[in-house]
Amino acid sequence: MKRGMAESYNRLVNVFVIACDTCIVGGLFHRFYHWAQDTAWEKTLQASEFQIVATLMLCYLLCAMHTGVILYRRKVFAYEVLTRVAKNVVFFAILGGGILQLGGYMDAWSKLFLAYLLAVLVCVSVFRLGLRMLIKAYRTKGGNLRFVVLVGSADNNRELYQELTSQSWAGYRVLGYFDFEPNGNFPQECPYLGKPQEVTDYLKKHGNTHFLFCCLPSKDREVIMPIIDYCENNLVHFYSVPNVHNYLQNRMYFNMMGNVPYLSLRQDPLSRLGNKMLKRT
Same domain, 110 and 212: no
Tell me, rounded to whole angstroms, the distance of Cα 129 from its chain centroid. 14
- In this structure, are residues 213 and 154 in contact, taking their beta carbons and an 8 Å threshold? no
Spatial contact of 156 and 242, defined as CB atoms under 8 Å apart: yes
Residues 135 and 225 in one domain: no
Q: Residue 149: beta bridge partners?
A: 176, 212
Give the pLDDT of residue 10.
Answer: 75
pTM score of the predicted model = 0.74
With respect to residue 185, please indicate whether it lies within any of the assigned structural domains.
yes
Tell me, yes or no, whether 201 and 132 share the same domain.
no
Indicate if 33 and 153 belong to the same structural domain: no
pLDDT of amino acid 278:
46
**Residue 78 neighbours by CB under 8 Å, 6+ apart:** 129, 132
Mean pLDDT by 10 residues, the chain (281 residues): 59 90 96 88 86 95 91 85 95 94 90 95 96 89 89 87 87 92 89 94 90 91 94 91 69 74 69 50 51
42 and 128 belong to one structural domain: yes
Look at the chain and report how many structural domains it folds into.
2
Domain identity same for 214 and 121 = no
Is the Cβ–Cβ distance between 132 and 124 less than 8 Å? Answer: no
Task: Please check whether residue 206 lies inside any domain of the structure.
Answer: yes
For residue 45, being part of any structural domain is answered with: yes
User: Which of 140, 166, 194 is a domain's end point?
Assistant: 140
Do the domain assignments include residue 86? yes
Please tell me the predicted confidence (pLDDT) of residue 270.
Answer: 53
Pair 102, 177 in one domain: no
Helices assigned H by DSSP within the chain: 2-36, 49-67, 78-103, 111-140, 155-165, 199-205, 221-233, 273-280
Reduce the DSSP state of residue 278 to 3 states and report it: helix
Same domain membership, residue 22 and residue 125:
yes
pLDDT value, residue 277: 46
Gap between the terminal Cα atoms of the chain: 48
92, 33 contact by CB (below 8 A): no
Question: Is 274 inside a domain boundary?
Answer: no
Strand (E) or helix (H) holding 122: helix 111-140
* Residue 195 falls inside a structural domain: yes
What's the pLDDT at 269? 60
Asked if residue 91 is part of any domain, the answer here is yes
* Residue 237 near residue 252, CB atoms below 8 Å: no
Domain match, 151 and 60 both: no
Domain that holds residue 206: 146-249
Assess if residue 278 is contained within a domain: no
57 and 124 assigned to the same domain: yes
What pLDDT score does 168 carry? 84
Question: Pick from 140, 170, 205: which residue ends a domain?
Answer: 140
Residues 198 and 87 in one domain: no
CB-facing half-sphere around the CA of 149: CA atoms within 13 A: 26
Domain boundary among 99, 118, 140: 140
Residues 192 and 160 grouped into a single domain:
yes
We report the CATH number of the domain holding residue 177 as: 3.40.50.720
